[in-house]
A = this chain, B = another copy of it.
């Protein structure tokens, strides 16, 4: 795809040729952001097939009653139409003599360097740079330099704010006000149609010719949903015309804009724009770079050492994952969560899924616990939606939505998508109705956060309630009318979405069991140690009655047992379905090939999995299953799993590491790392695969690094790939920062904080670490 990895050692991802076929992919994987704003890296000039996207976290809106709420695509502030003596600058015309687009993931800056000859033969150099500031959440800054090489050229620029953006055709904004201030500041005010969130965008340009500022009074244009300035500047051969564009976006959903009138937000946006302009591009870029260093690269360093370019790519891929995990996370606001595509595209409508707890949360817990806490606070704040969903379905407690958007939205999974290849009708999406394991996933995430951070305050305020309220749901969900004396959970979708309407999905049942057991455990703990909290929760949740139901549930719930081959049945029919030759689909270039040959009803009759299912269970509840069951089940399911979900590979890789299958673990990691970074799985167009980045980190720190929280305790049991010489990383454990270095010879763990002793199990041995470095020889863990 013209992707060039030669500079990745410097953190630079480079596209070395322009190709209309790859617009979407590059827009997504090279996107910029800061957790508040997400900006797809569409170019200044327009191309057919581009998908410009600017998203503000949490600003959900619903187009109409037939659609679900989604993150609206805000007015574009980045486009610039550039004309050279009347010829439009566009790489599909004229001749592109040299081209590169580079994303520096360490600084968060995107650049393009292009030498272009126009159809009429004018040779002109273009340098584009832009940032979304990590320091100033509202700010987008761009710099464009234009150097005519061998001819004088009159450059015409048309640039402003374009509110014609839609989400694949759905328009979420009323047109709103458009205004010029001082013939210079361009402002657009729009409101979302249903949620009535005010968006204010302001932009301004600074123009310089060979370093000398030139007056930037603009010709003003207002069109429908569009406002822009026009400049016309004669540039002599060899001169450098520089155009800076400073923009910002504020919304009435912002914490600090709560209660403000639209006019106040306008004023704020305008004065912010003045300030941006006075700071200037270079200083804005520099302070943002410093923020990247402070927040990410110094906070969560990971270093991979190995021979040859593959290790460099491995190193880059985890940094790339960290880059995107910072872009996607609304670290500034606990009323928001992470969308399945982050803020990098319209895919999955900005909704959050189990992806947060199972694939992403571990990274934040182990590196930036403050962010992790906010993600789980979001779940607590969205309990009203979970209660509503339970009531709607005839259950009690907190039934979390499969897809979650704004706090009180409840379930927002679309009901239909895609076409059934047999009937020609759109297929019903069952996840919103019956993919119920999300509720225990949330409880599990909450518990994980508490165990790893030791954040008692969080548990007191939110955690106990979340775990008990979800357990109440499960107790009410159990079906007690079976003839075997067991309680069943029928008609669900487990993590493996190729199997709909299954009974007793192993993952669902075991996690429900875990959830209720954990609630019982906390019941006792609160009763004896935190009577105040017990009383508060009892008043809300009627804990005495709940406890009885949990106890009954835990002792009667049906937990699928291994068969004679020690394989845990994924559900009550899986093992008796027919086996087909899956080679074609295992070797597919694009995911989902099987759905073009069979409809879902047919797939349901085949022993085939879209993604890890029972195996996720082994990964989460590692201590609950004997190693031979894990090995047998692994062997059985791995060959039947098509990894048609981006969530699948990392789980398999971590488990392969756990079982000492180093080669396979590394292979699967490499595949996982290439989901967005590599040329395959061309499904990045609608946005990056957020969870897969968490998966990459998990492959490394959980899998190769061997880190795990097990029953509340830290375990480190590394399994370094043969291809690597050394792996070092840091983790936060109960407020202490530990540095871990794994090499072929040794495992070294150091407590960098050293405020308190840390108990951990290294290579099977319990130790305590305080302000010291501990070294273990490799024969003890390999």
CB within 8 Å of B: which A464-482 residues = none
Do the beta carbons of B171 and A224 come within 8 Å of each other? no
Do the beta carbons of A170 and B171 come within 8 Å of each other? yes
**A424 and B225 in contact (CB under 8 A), knowing A170-B175, A175-B170?**
no
**A93 to B183, alpha carbons, bound, how many Å?**
39
B-side contacts of A596, CB under 8 Å: 219
Do the beta carbons of A66 and B183 come within 8 Å of each other? no
**A220 and B92 in contact (CB under 8 A), knowing A47-B48, A169-B225, A171-B169?**
no
- Nearest residue, chain B, Cβ from A164: B169
CB within 8 Å of B: which A84-98 residues = 88, 90, 92-93
CB within 8 Å of B: which A174-230 residues = 174-183, 193, 219-227
Do the beta carbons of B169 and A419 come within 8 Å of each other? no
> What are 29 A-B pairs with beta-carbon distances under 8 A?
A47-B48, A48-B48, A48-B49, A63-B171, A63-B174, A63-B175, A64-B193, A66-B175, A66-B176, A92-B92, A92-B93, A164-B166, A164-B168, A165-B169, A166-B166, A166-B171, A169-B175, A169-B225, A170-B171, A170-B175, A171-B171, A178-B426, A179-B424, A179-B425, A180-B425, A220-B421, A220-B424, A222-B417, A222-B426
Q: Which residues of A contact B (CB under 8 A)?
A: 20-21, 46-50, 63-64, 66-67, 88, 90, 92-93, 163-166, 168-171, 174-183, 193, 219-227, 417-419, 421, 424-426, 596
**Residue in B46, B169, B177, B181 whose beta carbon sits within 8 Å of that of A48 in the complex:** B46
**A46 and B49 in contact (CB under 8 A), knowing A225-B169, A424-B220?**
yes
**A175 to B68, alpha carbons, bound, how many Å?**
11
Q: Top 4 closest A-B pairs, CB basis?
A: A180-B424, A164-B169, A222-B419, A48-B48
Number of this chain's copies in the complex: 2
**A46 to B221, alpha carbons, bound, how many Å?**
27
B-side contacts of A178, CB under 8 Å: 419, 426
- Nearest residue, chain B, Cβ from A185: B424
Do the beta carbons of B21 and A88 come within 8 Å of each other? yes
List 12 other contacts, CB 8 Å, given A48-B92, A63-B174: A20-B88, A20-B93, A48-B48, A48-B50, A164-B166, A165-B169, A166-B169, A168-B223, A168-B224, A169-B171, A170-B175, A220-B419
**A46 to B50, alpha carbons, bound, how many Å?**
12
Tell me the smallest distance from the CB of A92 to a CB of chain B, in Å.
4
**A64 to B176, alpha carbons, bound, how many Å?**
11
Tell me the smallest distance from the CB of A649 to a CB of chain B, in Å.
26
Do the beta carbons of B66 and A174 come within 8 Å of each other? yes
**A88 to B222, alpha carbons, bound, how many Å?**
35
**A419 and B227 in contact (CB under 8 A), knowing A181-B424, A183-B424, A424-B181?**
yes
B-side contacts of A222, CB under 8 Å: 417-419, 426
- Nearest residue, chain B, Cβ from A183: B424
B-side contacts of A63, CB under 8 Å: 171, 174-175
**A419 and B66 in contact (CB under 8 A), knowing A46-B49, A166-B169?**
no
Do the beta carbons of B46 and A419 come within 8 Å of each other? no
- Nearest residue, chain B, Cβ from A219: B596
**A49 to B174, alpha carbons, bound, how many Å?**
23
B-side contacts of A176, CB under 8 Å: 66
Tell me the smallest distance from the CB of A112 to a CB of chain B, in Å.
18
- Nearest residue, chain B, Cβ from A119: B19
B-side contacts of A46, CB under 8 Å: 48-49
B-side contacts of A20, CB under 8 Å: 88, 90, 93
**A92 to B170, alpha carbons, bound, how many Å?**
28
Do the beta carbons of B224 and A169 come within 8 Å of each other? yes
Tell me the smallest distance from the CB of A41 to a CB of chain B, in Å.
17
B-side contacts of A169, CB under 8 Å: 163-166, 171, 175, 224-225
**A48 to B47, alpha carbons, bound, how many Å?**
5
**A63 to B64, alpha carbons, bound, how many Å?**
11
Do the beta carbons of A175 and B219 come within 8 Å of each other? no
**A111 to B102, alpha carbons, bound, how many Å?**
43
- Nearest residue, chain B, Cβ from A182: B424
**A20 to B46, alpha carbons, bound, how many Å?**
12
B-side contacts of A50, CB under 8 Å: 48
B-side contacts of A66, CB under 8 Å: 174-176
B-side contacts of A426, CB under 8 Å: 177-179, 222
- Nearest residue, chain B, Cβ from A427: B222
**A33 to B18, alpha carbons, bound, how many Å?**
39
B-side contacts of A90, CB under 8 Å: 20, 48
- Nearest residue, chain B, Cβ from A187: B424
Tell me the smallest distance from the CB of A551 to a CB of chain B, in Å.
47
**Residue in B49, B67, B175, B193 whose beta carbon sits within 8 Å of that of A175 in the complex:** B67
Tell me the smallest distance from the CB of A44 to a CB of chain B, in Å.
13
B-side contacts of A224, CB under 8 Å: 168-170
